[in-house]
Structure 1
Amino acid sequence: MYKIGVGKKRAQTIPVVALITAIAIFMMVYLFLMPKEDKCILLPTLAECNANYSYNSGSSNFSASENQKVKIILDESPGEIFPVSGALTYKFDNIDLFSVDKVEFSVEDSSPAEATLFSRKDREIVYPKHQNVNNVQLFLGINDARGDLYVYLNGKKISSVSGSGVQIVDLPVSKLNAENYITLKASKPLFGTNYYKFGFIKVKESYIISQDSLTRDFKIEQDLKDVKSAEIMFDAECLTQNYLSIALNGKNIFSEKVCGKRTVDLGELDTTYNKVTFFSFGNYFLYNTEVRVNLYQEDYPIYYFTVSNEDKRELENGEKDARLFMSFHDDEWKNIVVYINEKKHEINTKQVEHEFPIGSYFKPGANSIRIWSKQTGIQVDRLKLIIEEN
């Protein structure tokens, strides 16, 4: 009885084990084929889901390299490969330079100024000066007067008037502050009261409203050695006899009266970031303003990167290795030439990934990678350059 029972139990167990094994195999295959994003949600501790998971020079795939120091030198997404224009254009907003004379009257109340031998009542005016004032006058409309009237500016006597009528006093601009105090004092009599009764008191100031300079900037993305020339073009409306001046990075390159279309040579560009300043004491309106940077030739995409002297030395000593990794959009045949500092590497492949060692192509300092192909429709999804320890 006992042996028969054991045999039946074993017979029942075999299908269960087979079922569990089949399920396990199915799960392994399912996980293997599952997209990485979904896989990392279910199993976030996988090596390929870890932040330290990075590109390994031994394979075109990615692998965990926690113990291997990797420096990413270049990481770009070039897209479709085709020639870029032989000239770059930077468009500027309109330039409006102007200088306008303005005249304003500051009207004060007409309280009188009075004085006796033992007392006085002065008339004080507070006058805030305009920033660009070039002439200031005090207008006194005197209806009735006795004695003399003294005019003080910021506590110092600058003039005196006598009698009725309209009196004009020039206020010296050189002695004006941002805020000024004009005091009108009647002279003291021996007997009775001296006085000045005003119909009006006005401060007339003439000043200039101006925007005599504006600056626009632009940045050269290409290597400066690839720049052949640069020029600025604009249309000018001139409402003045004054000159228009243009400076590049603080250095004057143009100064003359100009109306209509004009092209000005910017000379040699010696910096990546550039500032163009327009200046005039007159009225100019510039539109259709743009800087055109001419390259030596029409060329394919160029990417610039820097290699330190230390990295270059360790690459030469074999302590480090540098590799260029490229991934493509499809598995069609691709014929591409990659120039590293004008050293040639040809690629003929149907693979969606390609990599090759690149350390021997480097030079200390600035380096470049140029991608060329006579074949159309090639799309490079990623261009990645790394330096890693051996």
Structure 2
Amino acid sequence: MIMKKGQSGGNIAVLVLLIAIFISVYILLIPQEDRDDLLNEINKKNDSNGDNGDVELVLLEESVGILKPSDTDTVIHDIDSVSLFFRDEPVTQDLANVLTIENGLFGESSQKLVFNLDDEDNLRDIALFFFVREGDGDLEVKLNGQNVYAGKAEGLQNINLPKNIVGSINELQISVDKGILGNKYVLSDIKLRENFEITNAQEVRNVVLSSAEDENAKLSFLSFCNEQNSGARLRIFVNAKESFNELMPCVPQRKNLEIDKNDLNVGNNEFIFDIDKGDYLLNDLELEVKSKEGGKERIKFPISEEQFNKIQEDNEVVLKVEFGNLDEDDRKGTISVNGKEFSFNTDDDEFEKLITSFVEEGNNFIEIKPDNEFEILNLEIIIER
């Protein structure tokens, strides 16, 4: 059968209508989450085929960091002194002025003394000492129920107490044996001498470097030994990497440590000083860093032929700077793009400048010279159309 042209067009319209109805019913019947994803995908495709408004083409994006002016090609950072030590710190506790201990025909009179210990971990040694004014028989001393002394005592007595039986709360019991007719002790100036090891084996110092300080550095210091010892081992870590490990004699000496630029960061740098024994003072600490002249930061960015053609099609090249929050309120300096300079002085967190006429096809250079210290969190050069 031969179909007429009008009939064919009508059939196609019906088919299209049926497909549209089917799609609509399908969209209504699928789960809500799948329906939202499908509609969003359709909207994205429509947007990509339509007008997106302003389009930005990024030519340069850089986190510059801290900038600060410099009159020379080196910057010296003074670092606080470092005191590292293992020290004995004696502490004396008075337990009693006079004690009388008896054991005879009419009964026994022993004495109990209680003392506290606040720092068990750092206790190095502990001793009981007293003066015997009068004494007959054998004296017995117990610490927390365990014998620590038994025998004849006279004059000044010094009894070392075992650390392993000392706790936070302790009891001393002092008694005397009975003998035939009874025995008696009179003790005076009963004291405890505790010796603690006070340690400060490690110190941390932080140094913030500007983006212009990107060359090798030298750490120098003068070491002093506060007590005679066989020599401590000093280690210095720069950003967690061991850069110095030497035995330090107990004589004043100046040390210089060369630091490779690859071991340093723009921004914060952590220096850890560590010893294994002894008592040392590191003084006159300085970090000397090679710096670009004037503290300048110079960055290269290319512009392709296609990008330059876009610029010439009535588009603009915009420099955008986002500053960090340092103590200085104003950010002052000079920016040069391919040798064309302009200055800035702002207390805002953001700064923008049209630099369309400054750029050219091929390699371009932007140079920032600070007049005071400030931080650039982000620097962008973009094409806006």
In which range does the TM-score fall when normalised by the shorter chain? Answer: 0.5 to 0.7
Corresponding residue number in structure 2 for 1:111: 99
Q: Distance in 2 between matches of 1:184 and 1:336?
A: 82
Q: What pairs up with 1:1-390 in 2 under 5 angstroms?
A: 85-109=72-96, 110-114=98-102, 121-128=110-117, 132-177=122-167, 179-186=168-175, 189=178, 195-209=184-198, 211-222=200-211, 227-239=214-226, 240-241=228-229, 242-243=231-232, 245-249=234-238, 250=240, 251=242, 253-255=244-246, 256-257=248-249, 259-272=252-265, 273-280=268-275, 281-295=277-291, 297-298=292-293, 301-302=296-297, 323-324=318-319, 337-338=336-337, 345-347=338-340, 354-356=354-356, 369-371=366-368, 385=380
TM norm structure 2: 0.54
Q: Distance in 1 between matches of 2:69 and 2:77?
A: 21
Q: Distance in 2 between matches of 1:141 and 1:208?
A: 27
CA deviations 1:19-70 (Å, max 9, x no partner) are: xxxxxxxxxxxxxxxxxxxxxxxxxxxxxxxxxxxxxxxxxxxxxxxx9799
Q: What is the root-mean-square deviation in Å for CA atoms of aligned residues?
A: 5.1
Corresponding residue number in structure 1 for 2:37: none
AA partner of residue 298 (structure 1): E
SS in 1 for 2:318: strand
1:290 CA displacement: 0.7
CA deviations 1:272-296 (Å, max 9, x no partner) are: 232223344334333321111224x
Unaligned residue ranges in structure 1 (runs of 5+)? 1-66, 305-314, 327-334, 339-344, 363-367
AA partner of residue 173 (structure 2): L
AA partner of residue 112 (structure 1): T
AA partner of residue 230 (structure 1): A
1:245 CA displacement: 1.4
AA partner of residue 292 (structure 1): E
Q: Distance in 2 between matches of 1:111 and 1:361?
A: 97
User: Quick one: structure 1 residues 291 and 348, their matched pair in 2 at CA, closer, same or farther if it must change by over 3 Å?
Assistant: closer
Confirm or deny: 8 A CA contact 1:228 1:293 kept in the other structure. Answer: yes
1:238 CA displacement: 3.7
Confirm or deny: 8 A CA contact 2:135 2:184 kept in the other structure. Answer: yes
SS in 2 for 1:228: coil
Confirm or deny: 8 A CA contact 2:140 2:150 kept in the other structure. Answer: yes
Q: Distance in 2 between matches of 1:75 and 1:128?
A: 54
Confirm or deny: 8 A CA contact 1:151 1:182 kept in the other structure. Answer: no
1:204 CA displacement: 2.5
User: Quick one: structure 1 residues 253 and 139, their matched pair in 2 at CA, closer, same or farther if it must change by over 3 Å?
Assistant: same
CA deviations 1:217-260 (Å, max 9, x no partner) are: 1122227xx73312111233344453461412442513233624
User: Quick one: structure 1 residues 192 and 213, their matched pair in 2 at CA, closer, same or farther if it must change by over 3 Å?
Assistant: same
1:263 CA displacement: 1.5
Confirm or deny: 8 A CA contact 1:95 1:286 kept in the other structure. Answer: yes
Q: Distance in 2 between matches of 1:190 and 1:336?
A: 100
1:108 CA displacement: 2.1
Q: Distance in 2 between matches of 1:163 and 1:236?
A: 48
Instruction: Work out the percentage of aligned pairs sharing the same amino acid.
Output: 17
1:355 CA displacement: 2.2
AA partner of residue 113 (structure 2): E
AA partner of residue 275 (structure 1): E
AA partner of residue 147 (structure 2): K
AA partner of residue 167 (structure 1): Q
TM norm structure 1: 0.53
SS in 2 for 1:227: coil
SS in 2 for 1:323: strand
AA partner of residue 282 (structure 1): G
CA deviations 1:116-173 (Å, max 9, x no partner) are: 7986543213143666443322113233345543322233333323344433321123
Q: Distance in 2 between matches of 1:388 and 1:191?
A: 110
Confirm or deny: 8 A CA contact 1:74 1:386 kept in the other structure. Answer: no
CA deviations 1:323-342 (Å, max 9, x no partner) are: 2169xxxxxxxx9742xxxx
Q: Distance in 2 between matches of 1:369 and 1:194?
A: 97
CA deviations 1:336-389 (Å, max 9, x no partner) are: 742xxxxxx453799x9642398x999xxxxx95248xxxx9xxxx99746688
| Count, aligned residues | 279
1:212 CA displacement: 4.2
Q: Distance in 2 between matches of 1:68 and 1:181?
A: 80
